[in-house]
A and B are shown apart, each in its own frame.
Chain A
């Protein structure tokens, strides 16, 4: 067993074994990642991942993965990096390493127009959020461990329930919320966006400093040469870096 592990480690370390870099993403987080009609994973995160791979001159394989299993999958070597709009948090840092941030995220509270809700008043009503996300940890701090916080496997499922009227509001990430609001004019952002200093990075295994550094260099590269700005403008009309 140990021998096999050493052999594998050697294999992974040698540049000659140009295994494709396996990158996990979520696939249910538009416009960052979603599955299109042809069954392909597309979105901002995927474009960034591909640009990074091009910069590193490595072949890449994109894998769509359920959100709440995405970190364990990385730790268990099912893939090498996670490019999935993942917030850099202290809790996650105990398990995985992060690259430098590639964009800043904010939270927003979404509710039906004219609901009269306030950000401070969310504890009084049923609020939704995606399970295992920065939104759900923030929401939980607001409503308490036994508050009426509904957790969804995907952000899209929480949007569905807000629309159906099962919940009064949801705590969402900023950009996906704006994207969703475009097709849902009956809803609005309550108050201002919430800045919790959230930075989004690429997660790699703790023992994989080599890949982390390579990704950091490539990230700087695509920002410097304008690739990043181009991708970002295509999705958001502005550079979100």
Chain B
């Protein structure tokens, strides 16, 4: 873990060394902080979107299940986590549940103790709820005949879902998912309120040193850059999905 941390620091020191002279003075003075924060935001985003996509897919499948209990549970998942503000979710888990302390939380304590872990979990759950809805919409656009045809070929429902319905649903839902990923990136700034030093957390610390409004401009540029990277990544996947 510490090796990984050192690697991240080395990356930001390297980036800042290379960017010296070409970046504005106000940015260069705090460059490693911005890049440290940028890497934390990137890391949270990659992990939560990957985990969220897996959980969201399961929830979407549960939403079109034949079992009523499963359908209801999946509906409730989406309803609760889409229907409440991300900030409230973060605070309930971090300050609310977390304040029970190590005695009551037992083996769960290492999770609740870490702002980073709570942030990652809440972002994951939150985005999974949106992804589930997006995917359900994608499945809904497919003609029912496809499932019937797959079943009459002898496929099980699960296999039909995996091989026939989901791949198509992903293709339909992908542009909407791109939108959700950008929203997730922006929402991730809220983890700075639970002590995570993401890009927003670092920016606020830098801002506190001189109250220069430039500070937030640099941060906005970095977020926009991240959005650009994400959009490029999404495009690449979209192209592959089309060929498939």
Contact = CB atoms under 8 A, between A and B. Distances in A.
Contact of A166 (B36, B98, B204): B98
Interface in A64-101: 68, 71-72, 75, 91-92, 94-95
A75 to B, nearest CB: 7
B141 to A, nearest CB: 44
A137 B203 CA distance: 15
A136 to B, nearest CB: 7
A72 B102 contact: no
B205 interface: yes
A151 B95 contact: no
B99 interface: yes
Interface in A136-168: 136-137, 145-146, 150-153, 157, 160-161, 163-166
Interface string B92-109: 000100111110000000
Contacts of B32: 145
Interface string B167-181: 000000000000000
Contacts of A72: 211, 213
B208 A164 contact: no
Given A91-B210, A131-B205, A151-B205, A165 B33 contact: no
Nearest to B32: A145
Contacts, number: 55
Interface in A207-227: none
A132 interface: yes
Contacts of B115: 150, 166
A146 B36 contact: yes
B138 interface: no
A68 B113 contact: no
B208 A131 contact: yes
A13 B195 CA distance: 43
Q: Sort chain B's interface into a size bin.
A: 20 to 34
Interface in A160-199: 160-161, 163-166
B56 interface: no
B242 interface: no
Contact of A165 (B101, B195, B197, B213): B101
B99 A150 contact: no
A151 B195 contact: yes
A160 B96 CA distance: 10
A19 B208 CA distance: 30
Contacts of B102: 165
Nearest to B102: A165
A137 B207 CA distance: 12
Contact of B195 (A91, A94, A137, A150): A150
Interface in A92-145: 92, 94-95, 128, 131-132, 136-137, 145
Contacts of A91: 209-211
Most buried by A among B33, B36, B195: B195
Greatest chain A CB density within 10 A among B9, B100, B193 is at B193
A68 B98 contact: no
Q: Interface centre among A72, A94, A160, A166, by most B CB within 10 Å?
A: A166
- 9 closest A-B pairs by beta carbon, nearest first, are A132-B208, A150-B195, A95-B211, A164-B99, A71-B211, A166-B113, A164-B101, A165-B102, A165-B101
Given A68-B204, A150-B195, 14 more contacts: A71-B211, A75-B211, A92-B211, A95-B210, A131-B204, A136-B208, A137-B209, A145-B32, A146-B9, A151-B195, A163-B99, A164-B99, A164-B100, A165-B102
23 contacts: A68-B204, A72-B211, A94-B210, A95-B211, A131-B204, A131-B205, A132-B204, A132-B207, A132-B208, A137-B209, A145-B33, A146-B36, A150-B195, A151-B195, A151-B205, A152-B195, A157-B95, A163-B99, A164-B98, A165-B102, A165-B113, A166-B113, A166-B115
